[in-house]
Amino acid sequence: MAGKKTGATTGSSRAVARRVVAAPAVRRAAAEVGSGLVAGEGLGMEMMLPNGQLINMRGGSFDPTASQGFQGDAFIRLLNANGDTGALRTAAVLRENEWRDYDKVVTQIARGKFTLVADMMTNGMRAKLENPMGTTQIVWDRAGDMSDAQIDMTGEATDIRDRIEFAQDSMPVPIIHHGFRLNIRTLMASRARGQGLDISHAQLATLKVVHTIEKLFLFGQFSAGAGAGSLYGLTKYPYRVAGPLSADWRTATAAQIFSDVNAMIAAMEQKNQFGPYMLYVPASYAPALRRDYDNRTAGGGGGYSIRSRLMEIENLKDIKTNWFLPDNHVVMINLNPENIRALDGIQPRMIEWNTQGGMVSIFKIIAIILPQIKRDAADQCGIVHYSI
């Protein structure tokens, strides 16, 4: 974003920097506010709206008196709040109890529909993403290794003076969202009849967002362009261990299923990944794991299922059914945040702004919850993906 000097220094006066930021660069502008690039003594700023109108800023915040007709504009509110989406949760249209109704359904659906994401959140594999609206890319180092330590009696031997080599990986930080609209007359009619606010739109929009997040963790593949890195799900990550299942588990024998799981764990150990492990299977495989393990317990007399036998394998923490995994795809992860973690920027929440002169309220369910998959210097990671 280019800047230019205006004015001249005379006496005690100073030149004032003037910068113009073209909308809709709200995340870019939020990043500047968060990093201190906007606020500052002697700094004036103007925001150019899509219609070409310039809005003056003072001391890093917008001056609403200079933008008649744009007070409460979503862009302005969001930028003034340093990217905090809470600025778009005003009570201008919805009453407090109506916000509670919407928030309740959003929270309930989000908690109930996460499987893989919920496991990461509750197994120490969550990382808080600060200033998510002002962060468009994550960059991290991949550290190399050192030689083994020396052993001697005096400690006088010259050390091998290793130096860790670093390389970098990166990923974009996209926003997952789905919106709906509410006409003011519809809202007023529901209040006049004493009926509760229809929350079906919020329910479905939240489902779409949560489902998209879960699928992003499983088989997402997203790029924001050259230099921004790529975001991958478990089954798309280029450095995962991929292998074949010996048979379709729906018709496989107990021995075949047991062999496949042991092979996946062996593949983990070859990559220096030693557990604990979580195994995810598609819904079509769940009935197979409930079958009896062998003839000694035929008919369920011993209560010894294939799943029970698998759970006796060392370091296998649990087996989960994931409703988004396609048939004949099984995924195992090492529950270690150094391999994969959930970047938690914004939990699913609803924001709102007005349009059409206040006749229509626009609502959006927004979230930033993303998978960050890491590899080491040897391109090893804790993901094994077997399929047919």
pLDDT tens for residues 108-141? 655 555 689 989 998 999 999 999 999 999 999 8
DSSP 113-166: H-SHHHHHHHTT-EEE-SSGGG--EEEEEEE---PPPP--SSS-SPP------E
Name the residue ranges covered by the structural domains of the chain.
16-83, 96-142+164-233+341-373, 241-339+380-387
Cα separation, 210 vs 218, in Å, equals 13
Centroid of chain to Cα 260: 30
Predicted confidence at residue 17, as pLDDT, reads 33
Report the pLDDT value the prediction gives residue 181, as an integer from 0 to 100: 85
Query: Taking 90 as the threshold, does the pLDDT of residue 98 lie above it?
Result: no
Tens of pLDDT, residue by residue over 333-384, are 999 999 999 999 998 888 888 787 778 888 898 999 999 999 988 899 999 9
Q: What percent of the chain has pLDDT over 70?
A: 65
Give 323's contacts (C-beta < 8 A, 6+ positions apart).
115, 283
Q: Which CATH superfamily is domain 241-339+380-387 in?
A: hypothetical protein PF0899 domain (3.30.2320.10)
Least trusted range by pLDDT, from 56-60, 211-215, 274-278: 56-60
pTM: 0.72
Tens of pLDDT, residue by residue over 41-89, are 333 344 444 444 444 444 444 333 333 333 345 555 555 666 666 655 5
Judging by beta carbons within 10 Å of its beta carbon (0-12, 13-18, 19+), is residue 148 exposed, middle or buried? exposed
Whether the per-residue pLDDT at 287 is higher than 90: the answer is yes
Once rounded to an integer, what is the mean pLDDT over residues 12-37?
41
Rounded CA-CA distance 12/17 in Å is 16
Let me know if the fold of 96-142+164-233+341-373 is the same as that of 241-339+380-387: no
Q: Report whether 30 contacts 56 (CB < 8 A).
A: no
Would you give the DSSP letter of residue 30?
A: H
User: What is the spatial distance between Cα 365 and Cα 348, in angstroms, rounded to a whole number?
Assistant: 6
Q: Is the pLDDT of residue 10 over 80?
A: no
pLDDT score recorded for residue 24: 42
Q: What is the pLDDT of residues 215-235, one digit of tens each?
A: 999 999 898 887 788 999 999
pLDDT at 31: 52
Burial class for 225, CB neighbours closer than 10 Å (0-12, 13-18, 19+): exposed
pLDDT bucket at 321, cuts 50 / 70 / 90: very high
* Higher-confidence position of 262 and 377: 262
pLDDT of residue 83: 61
pLDDT at 176 over 90: yes
Mean pLDDT score, 88-93: 52
Q: What gap in Å lies between CA 316 and CA 334, rounded to an integer? A: 9
More confident residue, 186 or 138: 138
| CATH assignment, 96-142+164-233+341-373 | 3.30.2400.30
- Identify the residue with better confidence: 60 or 170: 170
Higher per-residue confidence, 326 vs 207: 326
